[in-house]
Structure 1
Amino acid sequence: MLRRAVLRFALAALALATSLLAGAACLSPTLPLPPPEPADTIRPSAATEGVWQISGSCTPGARVSLFNQRTQRGVIEDDADGNGRYHLEIEAEVCDTLLVWQELIVEGSGTEVSEAASFVVEERTPLGVVSDACP
């Protein structure tokens, strides 16, 4: 009889511990939103001198911001079609440093903002840098 009571107590304690651990896992913080990938395609605009077309990967549905440190100007675009790509045009010169970050609206949690990633303006394609003009 005593053995059976101890066994029931042990099983109840195990069930309680399991449920507490499961509940704690649900309350654990989520990982922060990472910055979008630095641009994989950078090319001068064919239409406007001094403007560069910048494209890269982002979190689907994010708002992507691009900022030129030299000019102190930036542009913003929403990934409205949710394909996880950003395509922005910004005034820049070769070797300017650009910052890119993203924001994502999370239902019930508000807006998450990533850290910024930096890269330099030099012509490149997804295969690599076309002209390595920057130090």
Structure 2
Amino acid sequence: MLRRAALHLAVALAISLLAGAACLSPTLPLPPPEPADTMRPVADREGVWQISGNCSPGARVSLFNERTQRGVIEDDTDRNGRYLLEIEAELCDTLLVWQELEGNGGEESEAQSFVVEERTPLGVVSDACP
């Protein structure tokens, strides 16, 4: 009977140590959203581009134009893992994109840069930018 109690105690101790170790393990940082897979000028608004790509479901995606020093923000409210933003830009401007998630204290990703050029999911339409 004493052996059985010692065995139960050892198993409970091992489980609690494993659970504690799992809580102490570092978590991976939130990756940035993917660079835009679709970019096109908005037909009826000169100097405005529509930019879309993949993000974490439910993320808040920010897009910033380095030349104009202006940005836009959109929440993925339908949680489909896609962002679609319109921003003032010119061909070959450099944009930064990053995302935030509400949980875990508002975790924010690193920013990722890409160049404004007409693009479809199949690739760049024209190589106008260096």
Q: Same fold (TM over 0.5)?
A: yes
Q: Which residue of 2 aligns with 1:122?
A: 117
Q: Distance in 1 between matches of 2:100 and 2:8?
A: 46
Q: Distance in 2 between matches of 1:79 and 1:11?
A: 48
Q: Secondary structure at the match of 1:81?
A: coil
Which 5+ residue runs of structure 1 have no aligned equivalent? none
Q: Which residue of 1 aligns with 2:75?
A: 78
| Alignment match of 1:48 (pick from 25, 45, 52) | 45
Pairwise CA RMSD of aligned residues?
2.0
Q: Distance in 1 between matches of 2:65 and 2:52?
A: 15
Q: Secondary structure at the match of 2:80?
A: coil
Q: Distance in 2 between matches of 1:131 and 1:99?
A: 21
Q: Distance in 2 between matches of 1:80 and 1:18?
A: 39
Residue 17 (structure 1) shift: 3.7
Residue 13 (structure 1) shift: 4.9
Q: Distance in 2 between matches of 1:18 and 1:80?
A: 39
| Alignment match of 2:63 (pick from 66, 74, 89) | 66
Work out whether 1:37 is the aligned partner of 2:19.
Answer: no
Letter in 1 for 2:114: F
Number of residue pairs matched by the alignment: 130
**More displaced stretch, 8-17 vs 41-50:** 8-17
Letter in 1 for 2:115: V
Q: Which residue of 2 aligns with 1:131?
A: 126
